[in-house]
């Protein structure tokens, strides 16, 4: 198929909504990453998402809505904690998991009886969903396994010819996918860290448990609370290795171990590394790191790096989201430099 490239004007959004209404897939910007949308009520439309991405059928999708009132019909119950979190952080980079109603086909949730829902803050995403008048299922608009797209060019590189259209809304501001929190148990359970931090959830809900899989490899045979966490993820072609330690220790390590063709993803101001570098933000600025990390992973492949050594971010606040993505890109390979 020929992919249509759309701007964010009214005529383009009308065209995108028309395609979605016809059961096609359309990529659109959100504040986190670009999403690949389809009509969440239609199993046939949603099947096109899985096919275009090459996504495993058991990896559930997030359903996007444009207003709080649209949540009720999609879920069996809205716990009071969810209402409080929505008041605090919706619209925004927070996805909440509820018990799924019959309105949404089971295939959207990869067969689970729960449903992930998000109300994005990006004006283009909201206007598009509002024009559709139905909930829009949307995973990140990348080929399954590759880094999430934060520009329309990233979407095109992965999905051109496989989807009906892409809306170009410029770069995404947050840069990593939404926080995913499960509210179907008692205490909010954080499955994927993002722009709404565990501390921010605790401030509203009183408590928040962080799933083990956020920072640890799943043990063989263990069941993933979030199926997405069991797959290799966010990975460029280059081998990625995290280096934890001081800038001086990293420079010394690379002087000894780096080979021709290797590169580094480092903090702003880390100038003494003996390999070609890209920077992804100041060491104390996780929001900047989040905004740049996926574009840098893609750039590593454009530059043909064989191994990409990454300055390991802090796990504090939003740093946990950046660390979680890099850890998966690195298939959990971290070198401790003391
Ligand atoms: O920021 C975002 O969330 C972006 C934009 C487009 O909204 N979307 C996104 O979707 O990142 P995706 O499909 O790439 O990631 C969804 C994650 C996966 O890890 C999936 O396993 C988890 O959410 N998930 C979805 N539904 C779930 C459910 N019912 N139970 C547990 N985990 C779920
Ligand atoms: Mg994804």
25-76 pLDDT, tens digit each: 999 999 999 999 999 999 999 999 999 999 999 999 999 999 999 999 999 9
The answer to whether the CB of 283 is under 6 A from ligand 1 is: no
Please give the distance, rounded to the nearest whole angstrom, from the Cα atom of residue 62 to the centre of ligand 1: 5
What is the pLDDT averaged over residues 106-117? 97
The answer to whether the CB of 293 is under 6 A from ligand 1 is: no
Please give the distance, rounded to the nearest whole angstrom, from the Cα atom of residue 150 to the centre of ligand 2: 12
Sign of CA dihedral 222, 224, 227, 230: negative
- Amino acid 27: pLDDT: 99
- Amino acid 231: pLDDT: 61
What is the pLDDT averaged over residues 323-329? 96
**pLDDT, tens only, 137-168:** 999 999 999 999 999 999 999 999 999 999 99
Instruction: Please enumerate in sequence order all residues whose Cβ is within 8 A of that of 293, keeping only pairs 6 or more positions apart, or say none.
Output: 175, 176, 265, 280, 322, 325, 326
- Amino acid 249: pLDDT: 96
The answer to whether the CB of 71 is under 6 A from ligand 1 is: no
Closest atom of ligand 1 to 177 CA is: 1
| Pick from 28, 23, 24, 38: nearest CA to 7 | 28
Number of the ligand closest to the Cα of 228: 1
The answer to whether the CB of 97 is under 6 A from ligand 1 is: yes
**pLDDT, tens only, 247-260:** 999 999 999 999 99
Mutate to test the pocket of ligand 1, among 58, 228, 231, 232 (most ligand atoms within 8 A of CB): 228
Above 80 in pLDDT, residue 226? no
* Least confident segment among 2-16, 209-223, 261-275, 300-314: 209-223
The answer to whether the CB of 324 is under 6 A from ligand 1 is: no
Identify each DSSP E strand in the chain by its residue range.
4-6, 26-28, 35-39, 62-64, 94-99, 114-118, 136-137, 165-167, 179-182, 189-192, 209-210, 239-244, 263-266, 277-279, 307-311, 334-336
Above 70 in pLDDT, residue 230? no
Above 90 in pLDDT, residue 221? no
Mean per-residue pLDDT of the chain: 96
Above 80 in pLDDT, residue 315? yes
11: enclosing H helix or E strand: helix 10-21
Mutate to test the pocket of ligand 1, among 32, 140, 144, 182 (most ligand atoms within 8 A of CB): 140
Closest atom of ligand 1 to 115 CA is: 29
The answer to whether the CB of 140 is under 6 A from ligand 1 is: yes
Closest atom of ligand 1 to 118 CA is: 7
Percent of the chain scoring above 70 in pLDDT: 98
Q: CA 40 from chain center: how many Å?
A: 19
Rg (CA), the chain: 20
Above 70 in pLDDT, residue 17? yes
The answer to whether the CB of 35 is under 6 A from ligand 1 is: yes
The answer to whether the CB of 321 is under 6 A from ligand 1 is: no
The answer to whether the CB of 188 is under 6 A from ligand 1 is: no
Please give the distance, rounded to the nearest whole angstrom, from the Cα atom of residue 247 to the centre of ligand 2: 31
CA 63 – CA 104 distance, rounded (Å): 9
Sign of CA dihedral 170, 227, 118, 209: negative
The answer to whether the CB of 164 is under 6 A from ligand 1 is: no
Number of the ligand closest to the Cα of 229: 1
């Amino acid at each position: 198929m020929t992919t249509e490239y759309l701007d964010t004007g009214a005529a383009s959004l009308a065209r995108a909504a028309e395609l979605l209404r016809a059961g096609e897939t359309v990529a659109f910007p959100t504040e986190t990453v670009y999403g690949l949308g389809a009509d969440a009520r239609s199993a046939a439309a949603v099947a096109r998402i899985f096919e275009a991405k090459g996504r495993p059928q058991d990896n559930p999708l997030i359903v996007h809505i444009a207003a709080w009132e649209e949540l009720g019909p999609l879920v069996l119950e809205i716990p009071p904690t969810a209402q409080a979190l929505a008041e605090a952080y919706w619209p925004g980079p927070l996805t909440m998991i509820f018990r799924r109603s019959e309105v949404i086909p089971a295939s959207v949730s990869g067969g689970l009886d729960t449903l992930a829902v998000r109300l994005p803050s990006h004006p283009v995403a909201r206007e598009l969903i509002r024009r559709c008048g139905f909930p829009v299922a949307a995973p990140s608009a990348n080929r399954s396994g590759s880094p999430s797209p934060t520009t329309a060019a990233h979407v095109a590189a992965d999905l051109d010819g496989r989807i009906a259209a892409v809306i170009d809304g410029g770069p995404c501001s947050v840069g990593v996918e939404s926080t995913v929190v499960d509210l179907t148990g008692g205490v909010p359970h954080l499955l994927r860290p993002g722009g709404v931090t565990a501390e921010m959830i605790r401030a509203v809900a009183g408590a928040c448990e962080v799933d083990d899989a956020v920072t640890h490899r799943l043990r063989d045979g263990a069941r993933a609370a979030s199926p997405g966490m069991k797959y290799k993820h966010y990975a460029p072609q280059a081998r990625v290795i995290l280096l934890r330690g001081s800038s001086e220790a990293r420079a010394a390590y690379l002087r000894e171990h780096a080979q021709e063709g290797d590169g580094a993803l480092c903090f702003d101001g880390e100038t003494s590394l003996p390999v070609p570098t890209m920077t992804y933000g100041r060491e104390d600025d996780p929001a900047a790191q989040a905004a740049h990390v996926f574009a840098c992973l893609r750039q590593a492949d454009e530059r043909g790096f064989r191994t990409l050594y990454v300055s390991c971010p802090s796990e504090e606040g939003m740093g946990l989201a950046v660390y979680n993505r890099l850890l998966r890109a690195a298939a959990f390979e971290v070198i401790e430099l003391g």
